[in-house]
Structure 1
Amino acid sequence: MRGHCLCGAIAFEVDGPAQACVVCHCESCRRQCSAPMTTYIGVLDGQWRWLGKSPKTFNSSPGVERTFCDHCGSPLSFRSKKMSNVMHFFSATMAEPEKFAPTLHVAFEEKLPWVKLADGLPTRFGPDYTKG
């Protein structure tokens, strides 16, 4: 499975299965993606790699690192110390995003009030989907 930024300067490849595919409503993800919510997949370290040029990083809050293309500005991924050993790639950057259907809404307490959902997916408060 491959993905890339808007201009194609930065690409990545995923070998292993996604640990999760979730919709995040947190303010940080909204701001990074300029969207009311975003969907990402979690991939274990060692099961993905950057191809060619590496992205730039930005520490958006303590323990959170976000990556982006320094040419076109596309957000690519984030990593959180709370969910160590997992890189989270925004599913819209994947070559075939339709293959990644979300199963959970996270950080639901930060959902914008005008967003109305009827997908029937469970919700979790806080961004960490790894907790029971």
Structure 2
Amino acid sequence: MTDDLHGGCLCGAVRYRISGAIAATGVAYCHCGMCRKASGAPVMAWATFPAGAVWLTGGAPASYASSPKALRQFCPNCGTQLFFTYTEGEPEFDVAICTLDDPSLLPPRYHIWTASILPWFETADSLPRHTDDGPDWSPYRAGR
């Protein structure tokens, strides 16, 4: 990936840029109950980046501590969920893929938290499935 990625919320009040030449460290469908509740959808698609790669270019998101270890950021106007971050470990941002201007650029590579998958929801793909946080753990993520 050589170009910057751009994205934002539904109403356009919050915009962001992901610095060019930064590869996502993980791109996944998340089936956890918190993501479902926060998004109102049966699954969320996230791409993880080093925190220094994600820059706000317009507006400011509101924040909600969805657990003692996690912070979710969303547009205070329209409610679009934009980012997920852990409050411990090295800083990184999970970016909601479908808030990118071109979400087709980051197709998910696997599913996480499939132990929580809804029994009536199934995707027709052959991607790897993990009952927990998945395979792309870096050393500082291993303790989560």
Pick the TM interval, shorter chain: over 0.9
Q: How many angstroms apart in 1 are the aligned matches of 2:92 and 2:109? A: 17
Q: How many angstroms apart in 1 are the aligned matches of 2:89 and 2:117? A: 21
Q: How does 1:86-125 map to 2 (within 5 A)?
A: 86-125=92-131
- 1:26·1:127 contact (CA, 8 Å) conserved in 2? no
Q: Which moved more, 1:55-64 or 1:73-82?
A: 73-82
Aligned length: 132
Query: In the alignment, which of 67, 73, 85 is matched to residue 79 of structure 1?
Result: 85
- 2:49·2:92 contact (CA, 8 Å) conserved in 1? yes
In the alignment, which residue of structure 1 is the partner of 2:142? none
TM-score normalised over the length of structure 1: 0.93
- 2:113·2:130 contact (CA, 8 Å) conserved in 1? yes
In the alignment, which residue of structure 1 is the partner of 2:14? 10
- 2:115·2:132 contact (CA, 8 Å) conserved in 1? yes
Q: CA deviation at 1:19?
A: 1.4
In the alignment, which residue of structure 2 is the partner of 1:69? 75
Of structures 1 and 2, the one with the larger relative CO (CA 8 A, separation 6+) is 1
- Structure 2 residue runs of 5 or longer lacking an equivalent are 139-144
Q: Percent identity?
A: 29
* Large movers: runs of 4+ above 4 Å: none
Q: How many angstroms apart in 1 are the aligned matches of 2:64 and 2:91? A: 18
- Structure 1 residue runs of 5 or longer lacking an equivalent are none
